[in-house]
């Protein structure tokens, strides 16, 4: 299976609620990144967390990283309809030249 696996595959919430997406990976990483993709568009970088960091914030986004469990989570607080998109985690491995390996993504729908 893939290096990065996301859970859940799909998530539907009401505007104002929080959304949590999880990413698990198999081998040691240099960093882990989260990207957003709106329907039919390219990916947009959201946040990068390095292997020696445990938590990072950016606006309404909070990312945690637990290297002992090889997992990360993305929390979007007070969600808005505009947050409707697919969210991908991507890992940069320490074992090779650092290619970015993407998970399959979580599709988030925020209902107004």
The two tokens of residue 52 are 């020696």
Q: Does the footprint of other proteins cover residue 75 (CB under 8 A)?
A: no
Handedness of CA 50, 65, 7, 40 (dihedral sign): negative
- Determine if 20 is a binding residue for other proteins (CB under 8 A): no
Q: How far is the CB of 37 from other proteins (least distance, A)?
A: 9
Scan residues 27-66 and list those touching other proteins (CB under 8 A): 30-31, 33, 35, 40-45, 48
Looking only at the bridges linking them, the beta strands covering 55-58 and 5-7 are unpaired
Binding site for other proteins (CB under 8 A): 2, 4, 30-31, 33, 35, 40-45, 48, 88, 90, 92, 97-105
């Amino acid at each position: 299976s893939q290096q990065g696996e996301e859970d859940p595959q799909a998530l539907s919430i009401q505007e104002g609620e929080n959304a949590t997406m999880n990413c698990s990976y198999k081998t040691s990483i240099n960093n882990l990144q989260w990207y957003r993709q709106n329907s039919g568009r390219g990916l947009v970088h959201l946040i990068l967390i390095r292997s020696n960091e445990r938590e990072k914030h950016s606006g309404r986004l909070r990312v945690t990283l637990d290297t002992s469990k090889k997992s990360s989570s993305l929390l979007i607080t007070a969600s808005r309809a505009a947050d409707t998109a697919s969210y991908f985690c991507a890992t940069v491995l320490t074992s090779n030249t650092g290619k970015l390996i993407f998970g399959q993504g979580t599709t988030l729908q925020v209902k107004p």
